[in-house]
Amino acid sequence: MRSFIMRNPSEFAFALGLIDLTSLNDADTVADIRQLARDAVTPLGTVAALCVFPRFVATAKAELAVLSPGVRVATVANFPHGEDDADGAAREVAAAVAAGADEVDVVLPWRALQSGNETAGRDLVAACRAAVGDRILKVIIESGCLGTPALIRRASELAIEGGAHFLKTSTGKVAVNATLEAAEIMLRAIRESGRTVGFKAAGGIRTATEASAYLDLARRLMGADWVQPANFRFGASSLRQELLFEAGLGAQHASATSY
């Protein structure tokens, strides 16, 4: 049973600081990304990162350099398809880093794992880890498509073995995205690996109540001190606004952009 629910501004501010504010829409424009960067800065504080398509990394970096240099810029690779092409994914990661990305979220070849090929996922993550250098590599396992607890667990293990800095639930582009059940499997895999690996819940987390459930789970399994931006993120677009509303700040700080 969940024991933690956000109730006060400091708790809303803490959750806000865990958000990777995300816009990964095919129709995104430079103006949309500039607005996203402005949305990163709120009366409650700033989000952890902006997550945008590679073509917008430079725009996001330039805007944030003025607005809030501490907000990181994340992008995606092998996205959203999750193909079995380690060299191609690594080239995308290297290009993203060259463009200035601080973090790259790469999709594990989950279909290959479903077909029984475990090597593909581990090799792709290892290649991308080498390409990312001193930046952060988050590995999206697409838990909602893997479906079974055994496959979610194995995908998590392979990503960790390949050198992932974070495990991420979902692209947000499929029917089933983040779930508490998948999150628990992934967090247990992290804990039992003994490695320093973070966790990102992405896709469908829109309210303070939903976010509270993930925070409570992570604190229960990993310890309260573990839940910090270096270890835990929400991949979200609308959660920012809901937290502002809950804190009584939403109406005057609504985004001009819908994402």
Catalytic residue set: 105, 168, 200
Q: What DSSP letter does each residue of 224-248 carry, written as one string?
A: GGG-STTTEEEEESSHHHHHHHHTT
Q: Say which residues have a Cβ less than 8 Å from residue 255's Cβ, sequence separation at least 6.
A: 35, 36, 38, 39, 241
Spatial contact of 54 and 94, defined as CB atoms under 8 Å apart: no
Residues 53, 25: Cα–Cα separation, whole Å: 8
Give me the helices (H) in 82-179, please. Answer: 86-99, 110-114, 119-132, 143-146, 149-162
Contact 198, 233 (CB under 8 A): yes
Nearest to 94 by CA among 81, 75, 109: 75
How many CB atoms are closer than 10 A to CB 29?
A: 12
